[in-house]
């Protein structure tokens, strides 16, 4: 399915007290395939309430055309759960945080003007056509603006050196995914640490392990 041509992007703050929004966030994390561990959403809500996590829903104009079933990001031959509320259908979510949920001080430090971009996901049906790049550009502008006034944006993603290994994806039991580090590099981000065990993962044989991350940053002003 081809994503709808987007004329404009709108961001709306996530409301942690809304049952509808909580249900949709859980659904989108299942669709994403990362950040599904027990307690993750609760921790994000606590961070939002403390003012250290700025979590936004991503909306597009015109309203997108959704398929009857939304496919999983990591296992694209499989379909995921339907929207809990058909009247609430953002195309994804993204966050600008003053505190890294994994405890990496180099990723976020308000005193140094360092914001970390996290929890970024766009529905598979809406990927393509440059939407992700546009979201990143607008997030960077928001980070540099008067409300947040950051000088750097950082992020973490699957280490590109790991992503290039067919045996990693075979271990996960899924088809090879996009190399996100390469994509962020094209957007001007530079790696400054890599090989960091970070993402709770489960191999096809049931073995649990931490997939390795790379940390990246970009000066925005």
DSSP for 78-99, written as a single string: SB-PPPSSTT---SEEEEEESS
Residue 5: pLDDT over 80: no
Q: What is the DSSP code string of 121-138? A: EE-GGG--TTHHHHHHHH
Residue 1: inside a domain = no
**pLDDT for the residue 91:** 97
C-alpha to C-alpha distance for 181 and 164, rounded to whole angstroms: 10
Report the share of the chain in percent with pLDDT over 90.
Answer: 87
Q: What is the pTM of this model?
A: 0.90
Residue 49: inside a domain = yes
Mean pLDDT of 135-150: 96
Domain count, the chain: 1
Mean pLDDT of 208-218: 97
8 A C-beta contact, residue 218 and residue 140: yes
pLDDT (tens digit per residue) in 27-39: 999 999 988 888 9
Residue 72: inside a domain = yes
Residue 113: pLDDT over 90: yes
Contacts of 147 (CB under 8 A, 6+ apart): none
Residue 69: inside a domain = yes
Mean pLDDT of 184-213: 96
Residue 158: inside a domain = yes
Which pair of structure tokens corresponds to residue 163? 């992503």
**pLDDT for the residue 101:** 87
Query: What's the CATH code of the domain at 70?
Result: 3.40.630.30
Helix (H, G, I), strand (E, B) or coil at 219: strand
Residue 98: pLDDT over 70: yes
Look up the domain containing 159 and give its range.
Answer: 8-219
Helix (H, G, I), strand (E, B) or coil at 75: coil
Residue 2: inside a domain = no
């Amino acid at each position: 399915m081809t994503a709808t041509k987007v004329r404009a992007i709108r961001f709306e703050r996530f409301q942690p007290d809304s049952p509808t929004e909580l249900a949709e966030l859980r659904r989108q994390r299942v669709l994403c395939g990362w950040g599904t561990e027990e307690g993750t959403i609760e921790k994000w809500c606590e961070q939002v309430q403390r003012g250290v996590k700025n979590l936004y829903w991503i909306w597009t104009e015109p309203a997108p055309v959704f398929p009857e079933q939304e496919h999983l990001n990591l296992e694209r031959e499989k379909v995921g759960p339907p929207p809990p509320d058909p009247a609430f259908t953002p195309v994804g979510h993204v966050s600008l945080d003053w505190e890294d949920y994994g405890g990496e001080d180099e990723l976020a430090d308000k005193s140094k003007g360092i914001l970390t971009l996290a929890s970024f996901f766009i529905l598979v049906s809406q990927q393509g056509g440059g939407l992700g790049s546009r979201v990143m550009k607008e997030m960077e502008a928001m980070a540099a603006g008067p409300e947040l006034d950051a000088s750097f944006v950082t992020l973490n993603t699957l280490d590109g050196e790991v992503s290039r290994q067919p045996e990693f994806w075979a271990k996960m039991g899924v088809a090879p995914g996009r190399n996100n580090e390469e994509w962020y590099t094209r957007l001007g981000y530079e790696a400054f640490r890599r090989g960091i065990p970070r993402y709770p993962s489960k191999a096809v044989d049931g073995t649990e392990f931490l997939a390795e991350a790379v940390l990246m940053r970009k000066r925005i002003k």
